[in-house]
Every structure is written in C-alpha cells, then in structure tokens.
Amino acid sequence: MGGRAEAGQYQLSHLEALEAQSVHIMREVVAEFERPVLLFSGGKDSVVMLRLAEKAFWPARLPFPVMHVDTGHNFPEVLEFRDRRVAELDAQLKIASVQESIDSGRVVDDPGPNPSRNRLQTRTLLDAITEHRFDAVFGGARRDEEKARAKERVYSFRDEFGQWDPKNQRPELWGLFNGRHRSGEHIRVFPLSDWTELDIWQYIAQETIEVPSIYFSHRRTVFRRDGMLLALNQFVTVLDDEEPFETNVRYRTVGDMTCTGAVESTAVTVDEIIAETAVSRLTERGATRADDRTSEASMEDRKREGYF
Amino acid sequence: MELLRFATAGSVDDGKSTLIGRLLYDSKAIFEDQLEAVERLSRQRGDEYTDLALLTDGLRAEREQGITIDVAYRYFATPLRKFIIADTPGHIQYTRNMVTGNSTADLTLVLVDARKGIVEQTRRHAFLASLLRVPHLLVCVNKMDLVDYDEAVFTRIREEFKAFATRLEVTDLAFIPISALHGDNVVQRSLNMTWYEGPSLLHHLEQVYIASDRNLIDPRLPVQWVVRPTASTVPDFRGYAGRVAGGVFRPGDEVMVLPSGLTTTIAAIDTFDGPVDEAFAPMSVMVRLAQDLDVSRGDLICRPHNQPTVGQDIDAMMCWMADRPLAEGDVVALKHTTRWVRAQVRHVHYSLDVNTLHRDDSANVLRLNDVGRVSLRVTQPLFYDSYRRNRFTGSFVVAAEDTNATVGAGMILGAG
C-alpha cells in the first residue's frame, strides 16, 4: 500500500464514519453491560438510533428493550409511529408513564398555562431505571444541540441518584470506553454525540428511514407564545391576548405538545428539510423548545438531576 | 464528503476562541440564537467585546470563573469536509485534556501569538501532539495585524519552531500567518500578506491529505461481539462483529484467530446493507469464518503471516490523570482493544517534563498530568502493535479498581 491513489479508495464518507462509530459504541455496550435499554421518543434522533441498533446486531434481533418515557402530552402521530416501528422490529417496548408517577404521588403536575411535564420526566425515568435495574441507557442526545451537552461524554457516568457531575467526568481516548460502575449506578450512552442535525437528516435521506409525519409541513392551528408557535391542543390553555390561527408548519424536534414549538415551513420531503436545515440560522432547540429557555444553564441543571 | 477531526489548544489570550468563532461563523455553524445568548451574557458580565469563548464554555462553573474546564467538541462543515474540533484548554488539566483531544485527531492546530513568539505552552502543545502521533501539525502564527503583517516576524517564528520540532517526531508540519480578529488567511487569502503564497487555514483543513494516515497494512480485527441469532430463519449463523483496527480484510483471506492460533478463511463480510468485498479501518463489520472455531470477545483476527505481538510484559508511555500518583507495585484495570485485564506497574523508568522535554530518571511515580515511561505486567496476554505502527492496537486506558474512574492512558512502545 502507500500510493495516494490506492489509499484514497479506502476512505469513508462522513456518514459512513459516523455510522461505524455509533455501531461500535452500541456493540461495546451490549458486550459489557448486563441490562441495557434504548430510550425511544419517536423523534428523528431515536429513529436513527433504532436503525443503527438494527445494523449493529443484524441478523439478530435487538438485544435490548426500548423504553418510552411517556409524558401523556404526546403528539398522537408520534405514538402511532412508535407502536408501528416497534412492531416492525419485533422489539420489546417498555413504557414509563409520567401520569402514573403523578397518580402515585411521586411528582406533582404543573398547574400553569402550558403545564410542562418536561422536568417531571426525570423522576419517572430514574424510577424506571431502578425498577428494571438498567445499567446502560442509550440516549439520542447530540453535542451540537446544546452547550452543556457539548461537554458530555459518550459514556456519561451517573451515580446512585442518577446525577451527572460535569466537573468529574471520565476522559475518553481512542474510543476505548470505560463503563465500569457499581451496583445501583448506571451509564448514559450517547452514540450520536458527534452527529449534527444536518447529519441526522442526511442519514435519514440516505437510508430512506421513515419519520413521524409531524416533521413534514402540514396545516395546523397554532398560536404565538414567547416567540414560538404552539399547537392548539387539549393540554394548553390559550391566554386572552393569544390569537390562534391556521398555517403551514412542521416540527424540528419532537417533545411534549405543551412546550414544543412548530416552525413555519412548506418542506414536505426529506430533501426539502435538508435544504431548510442547511440555511437555518436558529438551533433546533432555540427555535422550538420552551423547556430550554428557562435559564442559561437550564439544560445543565436538569442533566445534573438525571434528565436525558 | 470526508470527516476531519482536529484538536486545538491554547490559552485565553492567544485568540483561539476568536479563531474558532470565526471558522464557525463564516461556515454558518453558529446560529443566531447562540450568538444572541452570548452577546447578552457578555453584556451582563460587562465585557468590552462579545466573548466568543462563551459559545464553547457550556458549564456554569466555566462561565462564572471565565475558564474552560473540559474538552469541548464543536462541529462545522463546508461542501468538502465535515469537521469535528476538540477544543482543549491550554492551562487547567492541560495534559489530561490535550491528550484526550489529540487521541483521535487527524490534525493539531497550534496557535502562536506573533508578538510573543514561541513560548513554553507552544512547545508543550507540539510535544503532546507528537506524543499522540497526530499525523498533521499546523502552526498558525496569529495576530499578524499587531506586527504590521511583517514577513520577517513570521519567518523567524517558523524557523525557530522548525528547529525545535527536529526533537519531535512530526511527519507533516505546516505554517500559516493569520489574523483571526480580522480574518486574514482564515477563510480567504489575505491581501495584507501578499508575501505569503500558501493556502488559507480553511483551505488547508479542507485539502490536507488524510487517506494514507490509517494503517492499511496490518490486518487486525478485535472481536467485539459474537452475533448469534436465535431465529430459525438463520440457523447456525455465527458472525464476529468488530471495528477493523488495521489493514484490509477480504472474503477468501486466510486468517488466524488469537489466542488460539487456529487458522481458517473468511467466508463473508456481512453488513445489514449486504455483503462487502473489503473491510478496512475504521469500519464496523461482521465477518463469518469458513470453519466453526471457538472465538469470543477479546480475541483478535489477523493474518497468519502478519501477527501482532502477543505478550504480558509491556513497555509504554503513560499519561497520568488522577490525583493519586501511580507508583511501582500498583495494580490497575487496563482496557486494550476489546479486553479488560489487570496490570501491575513493574517499573517507572522516568518522567518527562512536557514543557522542557527534560527527562527525570530519578522519578519512581507518575503524578497528575505527568507523562512517563513504565513497564507493566498484565494478567493475560495482549495482542498488540506499537502505538507508532497502529493507534488502535497500540493504545490502552487504565481505571482504578476501587473507584472505577479512568486514571491514565498509555501508548505501547514494545515488549517490556
């Protein structure tokens, strides 16, 4: 070997390199942990995670269950998609219900005009991890999403309270991951750490992966709150000065109906979404997530408590 | 489109944040809401200018103390390449962070302030990049605007750096005079430095040739996971999954499995998307073997006429990352490719001062942020190459057996 022309043939595209890295991470977790689980929200990142897991273990079935932390404030289109996708993969679905956490008195619902259950999910998630004794929890978070996440490891150690300690993280070198932990502790694993929003959409296009319909432009009745377009739905109360109107929108992220904003868009294909994403001047979270706007450090604070 | 990973290091004053901010902004990787948040925060703090470091300093403690604690990863792309920047602080925990950031880097970008020239930190950055065998070293002489874009200043710094670099092992060394603040030679060639005939920084990052940096000579596949479907549609299927660590594998190749030493041929290289006729680093693949051998995680597939070293005594350069020093006789957990073993420190040969490259032969421990040469004895044979030959099969990390924390990293020199 050695000639430039020859070596040049052995070069991966950026999506191939990212895929190879994510598959490596997933296999490593399955080999070293006893009870992994993959968090699945139905959002585009978790849809890509499922495809990567299929690739990592094919032709065997997924060697772990998938879990949805269900806030009860979901988009119905996303729940329908979740159930169909899980059935196609013949995967085992576990549902951790925030409503059950509320009913059993573990957490208290927010009575405000957009009653976010975002923060409540943390308790439900941690309870489910304890109940099922999960020791590795795959999440679809990416480092380009948010600046606290930009500092998080691929293997993110959580103590017995599920807490993240950003100042005391394990160095990660050469893709040699250290998943050692004691009983009761667990590792959050983020195989998409190095992917960007654009990479995700390019991969969805390349692989022709189906995503929930709300990612594509559709007619919806919305109203403006804090500079975001929120869908009119049974979980939010429209205030006097808020005027609902119908327009063409799509979603850039999938979260609760109470806190996930839509963007005005006419993109009806993945290629049109890619074109929009490539020129967007707002991050997906800045544009569409009320939960991240509370303070400069709201993501860091929630992550410290054990959030995704 | 290819992926290029590069590491940067620098202190507050050398303009690193400005440079990264400019690369991200000019490639449209900084979004308006991020910029607004940074501008708002800068005003609140009473900064005279918008501090682009706030873009990367994501943790509350970092913003409060105005320091970067940890490696931050940033992403941007041009039509030619996707870039991942490992942005490492130059002072706090510098060895730990720079070693981490450089471990996966294709290129290291070292910033030099044109007014100050080569300082202790410059030498440290260059040394750690060469220690980690980052294939390309790029020296940006920044703040050229403050020395009247004087060619003589650039030439003097370049020659001084080259003289120093002869003590290091650097395969590809390049120099670019820039002004991150004004954008000279960052994205566009500068009109203020017509005497400089090389590429702009971004052009260099887009064009630097990385395809031959990987080992394509020594076939190595550490077995990560044995795929054994239970479904009746694929009876007796047994695939060995892993990430290729070197060389090229093809169906029909005669291969040897370590530690058993048994040989067979590759029946197929399978993926979800169908069979492939070649596998090379860093592909994640699954191979099927012609004969049913006993192969498990931690084994290694290679070629009979090209085997790694097999042994329990290892000589390595180690970086120590924990408060508790590493002393002779200590036992740690060690991860190499896909296997964990226990390792005992037989001998600390010396420690190296990363600033002066001075070797201290009297050292018998490695302290936090020390680099040093050690001999280890491990509980089971490892299948390794020297780090010089292969970054994947020549590297390891160690964890404390009591706390489970990652406390050190090592680069194998050879048999101990």
The pLDDT tens digits of the residues spanning B77-120 come to 888 999 999 988 766 667 888 899 999 999 999 999 999 999 88
Q: Which residues contact B19 (CB under 8 A, 6 or more apart)?
A: B8, B111, B140, B142, B178, B180, B186, B201
Is B315 a domain residue?
A: yes
Is B214 a domain residue?
A: no
Task: Kindly give the parts of chain A with pLDDT less than 50.
Answer: 1-5
Do B359 and B241 reside in the same domain of the chain? no
* pLDDT in the model for residue B280: 95
Do B253 and B195 reside in the same domain of the chain? no
Token couple for B38: 């940074």
Do B180 and B36 reside in the same domain of the chain? yes
Task: Indicate the number of domains in chain B.
Answer: 3
Evaluate whether B345 touches B326 at the Cβ level (below 8 Å): yes
CA distance from start to end of chain B: 42
Residues of A whose CB is below 8 A from B82:
14, 196, 199
Residue of A nearest to B53 (CA): A147
Is B216 a domain residue?
A: no
Do B180 and B59 reside in the same domain of the chain? yes
Do B297 and B354 reside in the same domain of the chain? no
End of a domain among B251, B279, B302? B302
Q: In angstroms, what separates the C-alpha of B375 from chain A's closest C-alpha?
A: 21
Task: Kindly give the parts of chain B with pLDDT less than 70.
Answer: 10-13, 29-31, 48-58, 62-69, 90-93, 232
* pLDDT in the model for residue B12: 61
Beta bridge mates, A173: A176
Whether residue B282 is preceded by a cis peptide bond, meaning omega within 30 degrees of 0, is yes
The alpha-helical segments, DSSP class H, found in A74-210 are 76-89, 98-103, 121-132, 197-207
Q: Considering only CA atoms, which of B131, B82, B139, B78 is closest in space to residue B108?
A: B139
Do B57 and B198 reside in the same domain of the chain? yes
Q: Choose the closest CB to A7 out of B3, B216, B392.
A: B216
Per-residue pLDDT tens over the stretch B250-282 = 999 999 999 999 999 999 999 999 999 999 999
Is B89 a domain residue?
A: yes
Q: Indicate if ipTM > 0.85.
A: yes
Q: How far apart are CA B171 and CA B401, in angstroms?
A: 37
Residues 151-190 of A with CB under 8 A from B: 151, 166-167, 169-176, 178, 180-182
* pLDDT in the model for residue A1: 36
Is B212 a domain residue?
A: no
Residues of B whose CB is below 8 A from A11:
2, 211
Per-residue pLDDT tens over the stretch A96-138 = 888 888 888 887 877 766 667 777 788 889 999 999 999 999 9
CATH of the domain at B383: 2.40.30.10
Do B296 and B348 reside in the same domain of the chain? no
User: Which domain, by its residues, includes B106?
Assistant: 2-207
Do B17 and B160 reside in the same domain of the chain? yes
Do B318 and B240 reside in the same domain of the chain? no
Do B201 and B138 reside in the same domain of the chain? yes
**Its pTM surpasses 0.90:** yes
Is B166 a domain residue?
A: yes
End of a domain among B180, B207, B234? B207
End of a domain among B248, B270, B302? B302
Q: Which residues contact B343 (CB under 8 A, 6 or more apart)?
A: B314, B331, B332, B333, B334, B376, B377, B378, B379, B398
Do B351 and B401 reside in the same domain of the chain? yes
Domains of chain A: 4-198+297-305 (3.40.50.620), 211-292 (no CATH)
Q: How far apart are CA B213 and CA A4, in angstroms?
A: 10
Do B345 and B398 reside in the same domain of the chain? yes
Is B373 a domain residue?
A: yes
Is B245 a domain residue?
A: yes
Mutate to test the interface with A, among B95, B276, B284, B387 (most CBs of A within 10 A): B284
